[in-house]
């Protein structure tokens, strides 16, 4: 793994080299079998990783966003599927921390339980037909006494089959609906997991389906709520920044692992009629150099924004650059890994090789919400000075109404 002095903090106190080595040793098997690495989960629980982002006063390790990104980068270099699954735990904890800092309510009790008991948290925010929205839900929550009753389907949901708790959102059935975000035990009545994950890459992420059938969520487990579709909420904004940067860092770990693997193959591979190793030839050096330039620019952007967040910057000022870094990574990371594979030639294309596995894993970056179409629309509208939301809005009725009003004076 390549480290850049001045960009990333030392992660050794949080991810010991022997822990990373143990995780890496199980990554190929987890990918082959399409199951999350139980050995990796055990090693991380023993290292108190579940409490990484929980404040120290609540029994956690108190890591800020920059350190969380750095650990995700290292973890993904060892086992991408495990890292991307655990990124959802990390994002949910980050959302809880940001909520607690702004609301100072009893949500700290949930964080303390996670940190002190080593609980793993699945994030059930993705839904079929949601279109990548981060502020809505297709699940409807109806009131029943002191609880909300929810039915619906969450997929894909990383860690679904191995987590202790699930963080999910649902939308109330009101004239002015709200989105509720709650924590629920995976053993809750009406909740079950269906093993459905069989994808091209990130096969070891346990991203299965969570089914809810008249599942009751008590009020005390709802730790955040906002108007559906609202994107001016400070907690939601902070959560988007957390997710955009931690998920980018994870895929940067995938790309850096691919560069390390490619460098080894290029040092071994030869061009016989030139009597030289591929690594010694300017054409191959340039290909690796271009991939390195693209990745290093992303590394700097991701680390710099995470450091700004830790320094207390208003998340509203960081959401555009954070989404831009994530969107650029969705293009540059798969392209860089593909260029590295191509440079190594056919020896990198073997089904059991590390590079081919990393190439498959890199493709998944395109599908994390908010997805490309919504992000590009949002950034374009912000740049043009027109109203913008992260909900994909092709019809733009508000724009039609505003234009008509302007024409009528």
Axis crossing angle, helix 65-78 with helix 80-103, rounded to the nearest 10: 170
**Cα-Cα-Cα-Cα dihedral sign, residues 368, 372, 373, 378:** positive
The secondary structure of the chain in percent helix, strand, coil, rounded to multiples of 5, reads 55, 15, 30
> Is the pLDDT score of 352 beyond 90?
no
> Is the pLDDT score of 132 beyond 70?
no
pLDDT, residue 5, reads 63
Range 324-343 average pLDDT: 97
DSSP string, 60-97: S----HHHHHHHHHHHHHH-HHHHHHHHHHHHHHHHHH
pLDDT, residue 28, reads 95
Closest to 211 measured CA to CA, from 190, 196, 183: 190
> Is the pLDDT score of 402 beyond 90?
no
* pTM reported for the whole predicted model: 0.91
Reported as a single tens digit per residue, the pLDDT across 310-326 is: 999 999 999 999 999 99
E strand or H helix that includes residue 140: strand 140-144
CA-to-CA distance for 234 and 69, rounded, in angstroms? 21
Reported as a single tens digit per residue, the pLDDT across 68-112 is: 999 999 999 999 999 999 999 998 899 889 888 887 777 788 899
Q: What fold does the segment set 123-227 form as a domain?
A: Butyryl-CoA Dehydrogenase, subunit A; domain 2 (2.40.110)
CA-to-CA distance for 95 and 160, rounded, in angstroms? 19
Reported as a single tens digit per residue, the pLDDT across 28-57 is: 999 999 999 999 999 999 999 999 999 999
Average model confidence (pLDDT) across the chain: 91
CA-to-CA distance for 84 and 205, rounded, in angstroms? 7
Reported as a single tens digit per residue, the pLDDT across 195-247 is: 999 999 999 999 999 999 999 999 988 988 878 876 667 888 999 999 999 99
Give the C-alpha distances (Å, rounded to integers) separating 67 from 79, 252, 295, 386, 399. Answer: 18, 14, 19, 35, 41
pLDDT, residue 280, reads 96
- Per-domain boundaries in the chain: 17-120, 123-227, 234-392
Mean pLDDT check: name the lowest of 267-271, 301-305, 362-366.
267-271
pLDDT, residue 306, reads 98
Contact between 20 and 74 under an 8 Å Cβ cutoff? The reply is yes
CA-to-CA distance for 16 and 10, rounded, in angstroms? 10
pLDDT, residue 95, reads 86
pLDDT, residue 346, reads 86
Tokens of 377: 């629309």
Q: Report the CATH number of the 234-392 domain.
A: 1.20.140.10
pLDDT, residue 134, reads 67
pLDDT, residue 131, reads 67
Q: Report the CATH number of the 17-120 domain.
A: 1.10.540.10
Range 238-261 average pLDDT: 96
pLDDT band at 176 (very low <50, low <70, confident <90, very high): confident
Q: Which residue has the higher pLDDT, 313 or 128?
A: 313
Name residue 277's beta-bridge partners: 270
Contact between 86 and 159 under an 8 Å Cβ cutoff? The reply is yes
CA-to-CA distance for 167 and 182, rounded, in angstroms? 6
pLDDT band at 1 (very low <50, low <70, confident <90, very high): low
């Amino acid at each position: 793994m390549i480290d850049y002095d001045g960009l990333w903090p030392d992660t050794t106190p949080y991810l010991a080299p022997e822990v990373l080595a143990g995780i890496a040793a199980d990554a190929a098997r987890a990918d082959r079998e399409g199951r999350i690495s139980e050995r990796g989960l055990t090693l991380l629980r023993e290292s108190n990783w579940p409490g990484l982002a929980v404040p120290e006063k609540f029994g956690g390790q108190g890591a800020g966003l920059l350190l969380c990104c750095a650990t995700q980068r290292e973890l993904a270099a060892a086992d991408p599927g495990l890292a991307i699954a655990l990124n959802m735990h990390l994002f949910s904890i980050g959302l809880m921390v940001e909520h607690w800092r702004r609301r100072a309510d009893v949500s700290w009790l949930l964080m303390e339980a996670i940190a002190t008991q080593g609980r793993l948290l699945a994030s059930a925010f993705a839904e079929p037909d949601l279109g990548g929205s981060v502020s809505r839900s297709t699940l409807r929550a109806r009131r029943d006494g002191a609880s909300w009753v929810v039915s619906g389907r969450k997929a894909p949901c990383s860690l679904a089959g191995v987590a202790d708790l699930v963080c999910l959102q649902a939308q109330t059935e009101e004239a002015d609906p709200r989105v509720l975000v709650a924590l629920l035990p995976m053993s809750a009545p009406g909740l079950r997991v269906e093993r459905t994950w069989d994808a091209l890459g990130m096969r070891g992420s346990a991203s299965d389906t969570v089914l809810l059938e008249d599942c009751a969520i008590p009020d005390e487990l709802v730790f955040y709520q906002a108007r559906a579709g609202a994107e001016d909420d400070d907690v939601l904004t902070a959560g988007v920044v957390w997710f955009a940067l931690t998920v980018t860092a994870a895929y940067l770990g995938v790309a850096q692992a691919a560069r390390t693997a490619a460098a080894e193959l290029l040092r071994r591979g030869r061009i016989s009629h030139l009597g030289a190793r591929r690594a010694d030839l300017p054409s191959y050096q340039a290909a690796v150099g271009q991939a390195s330039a693209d990745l290093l620019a992303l590394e700097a952007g991701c680390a710099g924004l995470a450091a700004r967040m830790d320094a207390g910057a208003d998340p509203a000022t960081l959401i555009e650059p954070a989404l831009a870094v994530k969107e650029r990574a969705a293009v540059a990371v798969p392209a860089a890994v593909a260029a590295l594979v191509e440079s190594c030639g056919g020896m990198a294309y073997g089904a059991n090789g590390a590079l081919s596995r990393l190439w498959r894993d890199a493709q998944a970056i395109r599908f994390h919400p908010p997805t490309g179409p919504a992000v590009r629309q949002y950034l374009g509208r912000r740049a043009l000075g027109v109203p913008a939301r992260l909900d994909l809005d092709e019809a733009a009725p508000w724009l039609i109404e505003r234009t008509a009003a302007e024409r009528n004076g």
